[in-house]
């Protein structure tokens, strides 16, 4: 019998004790929190695994308490104006991270860094320009994580000093894709796909304002595959935003993502052959949602980028994006992107190897399920 307390009251109380505050803001986060706790308790996690999941939720709740305290102390944050962001999204494993890092070489771009995603709230009294002590804490955590799971860097390379997914901001709402593994497990998987994401994205936009208020930038450059679920909401909240959607052979991205999810499911008992079909269905539904959104949206917001084109010509891809959205590309920025592309070829951190049958997948099964996607976007299948 596990001694890990996965009740809502216990994690809320611990978060309050840790943060020293009691105002969590709007109560709409509680339903998702409850479903997450139920999911962690009923999907084969070891006691160590449940402990780690619970601790993460307490940390997120503690951060939310500090966030709400900052909004109370500085109500002017919500009045901050945001320039139209440039969003990157697409199925996982389609080059979004690599493209994000390339485009971040533009000094006009304001990406989100991993430590900011975990700690978006300001530290009262921190001198302007001073190094946030949470930066070093996140750096130490990251280095330990790489030691604990050295193979993961070959799948998804992260750094405190490089841009990271803005999903970390949405995590504070408890109605998002979380780490990604939660959407592969019930009941959270089904619950999430039935939710109206407006409140989550309004909170996300306010967190961008909070970060802009602390460390200004000209134009947010933001990325997560999770945005495929809510591109219509992005356009509603940011009417002049631009959205890059990356595409890849689904035989590659589905299996690669299954492998990535497996690497993140330590301390949990499951069968890899059961994981693959779940991953495939989740990604297919996500893309179906994106296709439906685009059918109703103005085409001016979107540009499609093929993974193979980006790999073969990263600089040409950046030029295409800037030209399509009428963004200025200075000679110095062009040179910086060129140098970065030459120094960071795909596969620099090692080859990510995986096999269809290892995850209970077949070529015919993936091609049939993604037939709508292949017909619409025609990704190279070589």
pLDDT band at 382 (very low <50, low <70, confident <90, very high): confident
pLDDT at residue 143 above 80?
A: no
Report yes or no: 178 and 226 within 8 Å, Cβ to Cβ.
Answer: no
Residues 245 and 336 reside in one and the same domain:
yes
What pLDDT does residue 154 have?
54
What is the pLDDT, as a whole number, of residue 211?
Answer: 96
CATH of the domain at 94: 3.40.50.300
pLDDT band with cut points at 50, 70 and 90 for residue 138: confident
Asked if 118 and 63 touch (Cβ cutoff 8 Å), the reply is: yes
Q: Is 114 or 369 the better-scoring residue by pLDDT?
A: 369
Any domain includes 215: yes
pLDDT band at 1 (very low <50, low <70, confident <90, very high): very low
**Boundary residue ending a domain (73, 97, 115):** 73
Condensed to tens digits (0 to 9), the pLDDT of residues 166-212 reads 999 999 999 999 989 999 999 999 999 999 999 999 999 999 999 99
Cβ(172)–Cβ(63) below 8 Å: yes
pLDDT at 262 over 50: yes
Q: Which of 77, 99, 75 is nearest to 89 (CA)?
A: 99
Q: Bin 125: left if φ > 0, else alpha if -120 < ψ < 50, else beta.
A: left
Report the chain's mean pLDDT, rounded to a whole number: 93
Q: Tell whether 63 and 107 lie within a shared domain.
A: no
Residue 270 lies in a domain: yes
Please count the residues of the chain: 382
Phi, psi of 290 (to 5 degrees): -65, -40
Q: Judge whether residue 94 has pLDDT over 80.
A: yes
Q: 112, 163 in Cβ contact below 8 A? A: yes
Among candidates 195, 263, 207, which has minimal Cα distance to 29?
Answer: 195
Is 60 exceeded by the pLDDT of residue 141?
yes
Helix axes 314-324, 96-103, angle to 10 degrees: 70
Residue 382 resides in a domain: no
Tokens of 124: 């009262």
Q: What is the CA radius of gyration of the chain?
A: 20
Position 251 in a domain: yes
Is there a single domain that holds both residue 27 and residue 100? no
| The pair of three-digit structure tokens given for residue 79, joined into one six-digit string | 């009045």
Q: Is 171 a domain residue? A: yes
What pLDDT, in 10s, does the model give residues 307-320?
999 999 999 999 99
Question: Is residue 238 included in any domain, yes or no?
Answer: yes
In a domain, 122, yes or no: yes
Please check whether residues 57 and 130 belong to one and the same domain: no
**Same domain, yes or no, for 155 and 197?**
yes
Longest Cα–Cα distance in the chain: 63
88, 53: one domain: no
**Of 10, 41, 73, which residue is a domain's last?**
73
Which of 73, 92, 124 is the last residue before a domain boundary?
A: 73
pLDDT band for 149, please (50, 70, 90 cuts).
low
300 domain-assigned: yes
Q: Where are the beta strands (DSSP E) in the chain?
A: 86-90, 109-111, 219-223, 242-247, 302-306
Pair (121, 62) in one structural domain: no
170, 294: one domain: yes
Do residues 194 and 98 share a domain?
A: yes
> What global pTM score does this model have?
0.93
DSSP string, 262-305: HHT-TTB---HHHHHHHHHHHHHHHHHHHHHHHHHS-GGGEEEE
Q: Over 60: is that where the pLDDT of 2 sits?
A: no
Residue 126 scores a pLDDT above 50: yes
- Is the domain of 54 the same as that of 192? no
3-state DSSP call for residue 96? helix
CA-to-CA separations, 75 to 43, 153, 190, 297, 335, in angstroms, rounded: 41, 40, 36, 33, 41
Q: Residue 334: give the domain boundaries.
A: 82-377
Classify each residue of 304-343 as buried b or exposed e, where b means 16 or more C-beta atoms within 10 Å of its C-beta.
Answer: bbbbbbbeeebbebbebbbeebebeeeeebbebbeebbee
- Burial class of 345 by CB neighbour count within 10 A (0 to 12, 13 to 18, 19+): exposed
Q: Give the chain's domain count.
A: 2
234 and 334 inside one domain: yes
For residues 151 and 42, membership in a common domain is answered with no
């Amino acid at each position: 019998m596990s001694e890990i307390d996965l009740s809502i009251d216990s994690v809320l109380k611990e978060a309050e004790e840790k943060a020293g505050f009691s105002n969590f803001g709007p109560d709409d986060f509680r339903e998702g929190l409850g479903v997450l706790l139920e999911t962690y308790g009923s999907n084969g996690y070891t006691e160590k695994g449940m402990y780690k999941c619970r601790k993460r939720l307490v940390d997120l709740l503690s951060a939310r308490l500090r966030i709400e305290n900052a909004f109370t102390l500085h109500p002017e944050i919500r009045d901050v104006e945001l320039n139209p962001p440039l969003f990157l999204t697409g199925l996982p494993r389609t080059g979004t991270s690599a493209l994000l890092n390339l485009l971040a070489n533009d000094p006009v771009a304001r990406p989100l860094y991993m430590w900011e995603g975990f700690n978006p709230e300001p530290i009262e009294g921190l001198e302007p320009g001073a190094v946030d002590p949470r930066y070093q804490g996140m750096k130490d955590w990251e280095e330990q994580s790489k030691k604990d799971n050295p193979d993961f860097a070959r799948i998804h390379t992260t750094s405190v000093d490089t841009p990271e997914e803005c999903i970390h901001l949405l995590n504070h709402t408890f109605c998002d894709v979380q780490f990604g593994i939660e959407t592969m497990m019930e009941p959270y998987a089904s619950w999430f796909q039935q939710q109206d994401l407006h409140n989550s994205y309004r909170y996300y936009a306010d967190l961008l304002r909070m970060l802009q208020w602390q460390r200004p930038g000209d134009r947010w450059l933001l990325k997560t595959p999770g945005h495929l679920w809510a591109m219509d909401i992005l356009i509603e909240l940011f009417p002049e935003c631009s959205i890059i959607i990356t595409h890849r052979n689904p035989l590659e991205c589905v299996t690669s993502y299954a492998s990535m999810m497996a690497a993140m499911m330590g301390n949990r008992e499951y069968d890899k052959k059961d994981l693959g079909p779940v991953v495939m269905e989740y990604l297919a539904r996500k893309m179906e949602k994106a296709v439906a959104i685009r059918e109703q949206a103005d085409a001016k917001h979107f540009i499609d980028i093929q993974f193979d084109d980006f790999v073969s010509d990263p600089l040409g891809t950046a030029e295409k994006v800037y030209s399509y959205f009428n963004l200025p590309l200075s000679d110095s920025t062009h040179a910086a992107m060129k140098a970065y592309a030459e120094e960071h070829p795909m596969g620099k951190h090692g080859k990510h190897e995986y096999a269809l049958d290892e995850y209970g997948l077949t070529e015919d099964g993936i091609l049939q399920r993604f037939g709508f996607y292949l017909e619409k976007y025609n990704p190279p299948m070589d």
